[in-house]
Every structure is written in structure tokens, then in C-alpha cells.
Structure 1
Amino acid sequence: MKKKLLLTATTALSLLILGACSNTGDQDIATMKGNKITVEQFYNEAKNTSANQQLARNMIIYQAFEDKYGDKVTQKEIDAKYDEQAKQYGDTFDSQLKAAGYTKESYKKTIKQQLAMEAGLKAHIKLTDADLKTAWESFHPEVEAQIIAVSSEDDAKAVKEEVSKDGADFAKIAKEKSVDTTTKDDGGTVKFDSTSTTIPAEVQEAAWKLKDGEISDPIAVTNTSTYTQTFYIVKMVKTSSKGNDMDKYKDKLKEIAEETKLNDSDFTTKVIGEVLKDQNVKIKDSAFSSVLETFTQAVDTKTSDSKATTSSDKETTSSEKATDSSEATSSSATEESTTSSSK
């Protein structure tokens, strides 16, 4: 979470710099014998870098979503998100904001834009029965377990042997040997379902296979940032089966299906394109002429597919009418022939 905040802050600061450059024109940045570097020169160089192209794109998108969906975001939600991040950073939060070029007010504006974008994306979600069934396939209800995390496979094997002995106190061993500071003080006790992100997926998958009281073999989990491995031992305390009744978990399944949509790049790209089109976004500086292409093309493709489908439907209808007309003509001719023969 801290990395995300710093990244967002850097983005906002760079955009502020670009905006300031475009507004101050010929103001000097530096002078030297017979020459100078102006803000405008700096801006003309800076705006062509890929990083600033991306920053400008993000700024346009967030502003478009705020304009369209900002009224869906309450001050209470903004304050709650701000307080949540402030709590995570503790005493360093104010200094982090200041170092990144934020004030409390400007950071809350950023939060509002993020929440407005989330509201806009969710407004376009229309879940189908197929979406819920897909969510159901991967869903597992909450279980209670205990975990011990150690730094090597040899340590994990030794822990597995120790906790498997008759009368072994798993909680006590977790407090003594687990390197997971989040859970060790509670004896490694955790509760999680298939939507949880605090427990590694590999650990979850292994846990689902255990019956109450069973202990897993060592489970290797690789940190994708540092490429270091942590090894887990899991004891199932209380498992549960989802059974066959989807309706029992309908709200949770909707939540899973909605999250799946929000993580679908094709879906989000099309929605962003639709919002940009609806807000009549026009690029005025040729340096940024292509920053929105990914999104506008997605909308154009969708519109083209829709027209093709409509055209196909019309052709089908026309063909059906022609067939009906042919059948009617044939029927009429048969009637005339029969009448003539009768005469």
C-alpha cells in the first residue's frame, strides 16, 4: 500500500510540474552566458517523454471520470479512505505527503478521483448468470486454520515433524518459530475464504484439501518482488464445504464477479473509452495526440461490431422476408393453377 501511495504521489507531482510549465510560458529556469533555458523549452521537452505521456493520459481519464461520476462519491468516503491510509503510514504520513508535493486537500482530491473512477467502472457492470457461475466454480467459503511460516525448506520439515507429534501445541510452536509477524502472536490463527488476499494463494489451495485437524506438508511461496521463498505449514482447524446452493452465497459471488470485471483489462479499457467519448474529450496539443488511442479504438471496435451485428440482423430479416415473399408467390401460383384446372 505504501508503494502505491508513493507512486500516485509522484504521478501527481509530475503532472503539477507539467501544468505549471504550460502556464508560466517564457519564465526562465536557468541563464548562462549568451543563453537561457525557459520553462516553455523545458515543457516542450518534458511532454514528449513516455512517462509524461502516461501521466497526461491518467490526468485526462481521472478528470473525465470525476466530472461524470464525482457526485457519486461522498465526503465521508473520501475522509474514510484518507484516514485509512494515514493510519497505515502512522507518524510519517504528513511528511510523506509533503515530500511528494501533496497537501491534505490535494491528496483528498486524488482520492476523490480514484473513487469516482471506481464508481464509473462499477456503473457499467451488468452481471449475468454465467458470471455468477464462473465465480461459484472458484469460490470456497471461510475456513479457520493455523499457519507457521519459516525461511527454509529444512526448517519447514523440522516444524512439520514437531507439530505432528502427539500432544504438540501448534499455537505455542507458531509463537516461537513463525516468521509471520502478523499471525504468530495469535498462535498462527487465521480465517480466510477464496477472496482473501492476506494469505498466499498456494497456502489457500493446500488448506482447502485438508480435513479438520490435518497438517499440510511444507508449502513453498515465492515473493515475486524479491524472488525469495517462504515455507508454510498449515493446520486446518475448521473447514467448510460450499455445498450446492449458490443462493446461499449470492452476495459474495456478486462481489467476486464484480471484482473479476474490474480486473478485466478489456472491460475497463472499453468503459474508459465510452466515458471519454461521452465527456467529449478532445486532444488539443498534438504531442499528446495518441495517448488515448487504446481506449478510443476499443470503443470504435465495439461500435463497429455492433453495426456489423445490426447489419447481419437486417440481412437475415431481409432474407426471411424474401423467403416469405417467395413462398407467398409460389402459394399464389399454385392456387391460380388449381383454380384454372378446376374451371
Structure 2
Amino acid sequence: MKSKKIALALVGMCAAFTLAACSGGKELVTMKGDKITLEEFFDEIKTDQQVQGKLQNAIVFKLAENAYGDKVNKKEVQDMFNEQKENLGDTFLQQLQASGFTEATYKEAIAQNLAFKKMQEAHVKLTDKDLKETWKTFHPEVEVQLFGTSDEEKAKEALKDIKGGKDFGKLAREKSEDISSKDKGVVKFDSSSMAVPNEIKEDIYKLKNGEISEVLTAQQMGQQGPVTTYYVVKMVKNKDKGNDMKPFEKELKQIATDAKLADATFVQKVIGEEMKKANVKMKDKSLDGIIASFITEPEKPAKTDKKADDKKSDKKDDKKSDKKDEKKDDKK
């Protein structure tokens, strides 16, 4: 949701900067004997780091929208809109209004965010090495029943009840604090999924069908700092990946692609290439720094003249040899 909120904010920033750039001396404030124009206001705020950061983001999202917006279809936008609406439930419209958006402008922002993702994906070139590295830590999708709580004693009690024959699904619905356990405690995930903490995945993968884990512990960051959660897991359906990665090639490509998209260096390189392609220039030279980090070529190490270096080395060796000969003559 965070990335979508960023996209929403950017729509407003794009509009604001476009207005300031095109308005020239349009009056923003008037008073007796004086006025403040939009141009003056822009000159006043443009050095603010937050403003520059928002302008930088606005440029990036505008690039993506112009170059890849036509690759975003209405169904994708509607699906993501429906997903957010379902996740937020009754508070959806309230949060939308609090952010200053209508359903229409929210969809526009979703489309812009999807265009940014498609821009990155267009630059992903996976190699066999990428897939082999992904294969090392890959595990196919498993299906488990899961009980999660922040209370260790509650987890131990749940484990005792489950081993005693109590229905796992009923217990999960009634007492589990983990949101993924809301439907009979059943969770499906693979090695790329965030539905279950990575910390306990390897322990889960070791379980055989029908087997119940001991209490597993995972620590995650919450709003108030680290939070420890205790899990009890029953394996419903496990699958060994075997030695052949071809049957899982689609999943491996998606995982490897997601890893690229999460790499800040890769994303910066993509933005730089797209900026050069679109010939992005800052009309106000005092703002050049906003795009410089993306389009400035890294300094290449100075080329050395190997022949010259060899000659210098030969001269040094000759001098050393001459000094040795002089010492020998002196001894004689």
C-alpha cells in the first residue's frame, strides 16, 4: 500500500509543478501595493530538499507514464483498486477522502504506479546464472495450517490442544492473531511469498504431510519496534523440488525479476537510461542536481600506458643493476 500512496502523492505534485512552470508571473497573493507571483513562490521553495525530492519523483513517474502508460490496461487498474478496497474494508472511502482523492484520481495514480513497474520490467534481462542462483533457495508452493500469536504461553497451549486432537481450523479462527489464519488457518506460500516470515520457512519445509511443528519463533519489525510472534504449523501439502528446475521456470523467472525490481542500483540505472532516452533537461540550472544522480556517468579509471610503464620498470631495474655493479667494484 505504501508504494501506491507514494504514487498518489506524486499526481498532485506533477500538477503543482506544471502550474508553476507554465504560469510565469501569475499572481498567487495580492495585497495593497504588492503581490506574490507563482514564479516568486516557486523560487522560494525550489531549494527545499523535500520539494526537490517530490519533483524528482514527479519526473520519474511522468517518464514512466509517457513511455509505458499504454501498456497498462484498465483491468489491471481495476483489479488493484478492488484489492485495496477489499483490504481496507469500510474505511476505504474515508481514507481516500482523507488523502484528498476521489475514486477516479486514485485509479489514475494506480495506473501511473503500474507504468513505473512496467518501465522497470522492460529492462530486466535474466540470465541462466540468475535462474540458477534463484533455484538454490527456491521451494515450491506448500499448503499449511498456521496458528500465530504474540503470546508464547498461548502458542504452547495451542500446540498441546492440536496434538490432543482439537480441530486446527477452529482453533485458528478463534484464537490466532495472524491475519493469514483467518480462513481455517490455511496458508499457501512458496519461497518468494511474504505470507510467512522467512525466519521459519526452512523449518516448515522440513515437515512431512500431516506433521505438526513445535512452537516456531520469528521476530519482525512493528510500529513500536521488534515484535516476536510464535507459530504452530501443520503441513497439509509439501512438495520436494527435485533436481530439475525446468518445471518451475515460470516461478523462478518471476522471483528473479522481483529481486531485480527490489535492487536500488538496478532501479537507478533504469531511470537513468529512460531519462537519456527521453532527453530530460532541467530548464532551471539550479535544479540540475535533481537528475544528475541518474544521468551522470561514473568516472572511469584513467587508462595507463602499458608500454610506458614497462619502460619505467626497465629503467628502475637498470638503475638497481648499476648500483649493484658499483658496490661490487668498490669491494674490489
Q: Please give the range of the TM-score, normalised by the shorter of the 2 chains.
A: 0.7 to 0.9
Q: Which stretch of the first structure deviates more once superposed, 232-241 or 83-92?
A: 83-92
Distance change >3 Å, CA 196–CA 239, structure 1 → 2: same
**What is the CA-CA distance between 1:69 and the residue it aligns to?**
2.2
Q: Which stretch of the first structure deviates more once superposed, 79-88 or 50-59?
A: 79-88
Which ranges in structure 1 are unaligned for 5 or more consecutive residues?
316-343
Equivalent residue, structure 1, for 2:314: none
Q: Check whether the contact 1:153–1:218 (CA below 8 A) recurs between aligned residues.
A: no
Instruction: Give deviations 1:32-63, integer Å, cap 9, x for gaps.
Output: x7765544333222222111111111111122
Equivalent residue, structure 2, for 1:16: 15
Question: Aligned equivalents of 1:110 and 1:163: distance in 2?
Answer: 46
Equivalent residue, structure 2, for 1:163: 162
Identity %: 39
**What is the CA-CA distance between 1:156 and the residue it aligns to?**
2.1
Q: CA RMSD in A?
A: 2.9
Question: Aligned equivalents of 1:100 and 1:232: distance in 2?
Answer: 36
Distance change >3 Å, CA 172–CA 50, structure 1 → 2: same
SS at match of 1:147: strand
Q: Check whether the contact 1:14–1:55 (CA below 8 A) recurs between aligned residues.
A: yes
Q: Check whether the contact 1:272–1:295 (CA below 8 A) recurs between aligned residues.
A: yes
Question: Aligned equivalents of 2:85 and 2:154: distance in 1?
Answer: 37
Question: Aligned equivalents of 2:45 and 2:171: distance in 1?
Answer: 57
Q: Check whether the contact 2:27–2:35 (CA below 8 A) recurs between aligned residues.
A: no
Of 191, 197, 219, the match for 1:200: 197
SS at match of 1:19: helix
SS at match of 1:236: strand
Instruction: Give deviations 1:206-256, integer Å, cap 9, x for gaps.
Output: 211223313232313323433233221112222221010111111111111
Question: Aligned equivalents of 2:98 and 2:174: distance in 1?
Answer: 39
Q: Which stretch of the first structure deviates more once superposed, 87-96 or 131-140?
A: 87-96
Q: Check whether the contact 1:163–1:169 (CA below 8 A) recurs between aligned residues.
A: yes
SS at match of 2:58: helix
TM norm structure 2: 0.79
Q: Check whether the contact 1:13–1:100 (CA below 8 A) recurs between aligned residues.
A: no
Which ranges in structure 2 are unaligned for 5 or more consecutive residues?
307-332
Q: Check whether the contact 2:68–2:116 (CA below 8 A) recurs between aligned residues.
A: yes
Of 212, 218, 221, the match for 1:220: 218
Question: Aligned equivalents of 1:151 and 1:206: distance in 2?
Answer: 19
Instruction: Give deviations 1:139-159, integer Å, cap 9, x for gaps.
Output: 101112111111222222333
Distance change >3 Å, CA 109–CA 256, structure 1 → 2: same
Equivalent residue, structure 2, for 1:246: 245
Letter in 1 for 2:176: S
Equivalent residue, structure 1, for 2:206: 209
Q: Check whether the contact 2:134–2:256 (CA below 8 A) recurs between aligned residues.
A: yes
Equivalent residue, structure 1, for 2:58: 59
Alignment of 1:25-174 (within 5 A): 25-29=25-29, 31=31, 37-165=36-164, 167-174=165-172
Equivalent residue, structure 2, for 1:324: none
Question: Aligned equivalents of 1:172 and 1:103: distance in 2?
Answer: 40
Q: Which stretch of the first structure deviates more once superposed, 70-79 or 84-93?
A: 84-93
**What is the CA-CA distance between 1:105 and the residue it aligns to?**
4.2
SS at match of 2:66: helix
Aligned length: 303
Letter in 1 for 2:27: Q
Distance change >3 Å, CA 148–CA 127, structure 1 → 2: same
